[in-house]
Amino acid sequence: MSEINESSVRHIAKLARLSLTETEITKFTRDLSEVVKYVEQLKELDTTGVEPMIGAVELLKELRADVVIDSGLRDEMLKNAPDSEVTAIKVPQMS
């Protein structure tokens, strides 16, 4: 990866539509350079035989079935609405 310099930080800030002060540009140049150095160190590791993963801990989550149920609260909700019509809450039209 190429070196992170103030010019590249200014370019990234422009793309992200960020307005940075000179102090912030100096700080982010230093911080991003450290990140790049760390990533370069990681590239040196031998990962032969290491399976790809998306996180450090495997998360298993059982999902409930996606079933439509009637909560029985429609009439209660409509009663509290400022304006309603049959089964819907009426709201002002957006233009």
Per-domain boundaries in the chain: 6-43
pTM equals 0.50
| pLDDT tens by residue, 42-89 | 889 999 998 888 877 777 778 888 898 888 888 888 888 888 888 888
Q: What is the CATH number of domain 6-43?
A: 1.10.20
Question: How far is 36 from 76, CA to CA, in rounded Å?
Answer: 57
Let me know how long the chain is: 95
Q: Which residue has the higher pLDDT, 22 or 81?
A: 22
- Report pLDDT for 93: 86
- Report pLDDT for 33: 95
Q: Which residue has the higher pLDDT, 9 or 61?
A: 9
DSSP at 55: S
Helix (H), strand (E) at residue 89: strand 88-89
Helix (H), strand (E) at residue 34: helix 22-43
Question: How far is 64 from 85, CA to CA, in rounded Å?
Answer: 33
Q: Kindly indicate the confidence band of residue 2, based on its pLDDT and cuts at 50, 70 and 90.
A: low
The yes-or-no verdict on residue 1 having pLDDT over 60 is no
| CB-CB contact of 25 with 13 (8 Å) | yes
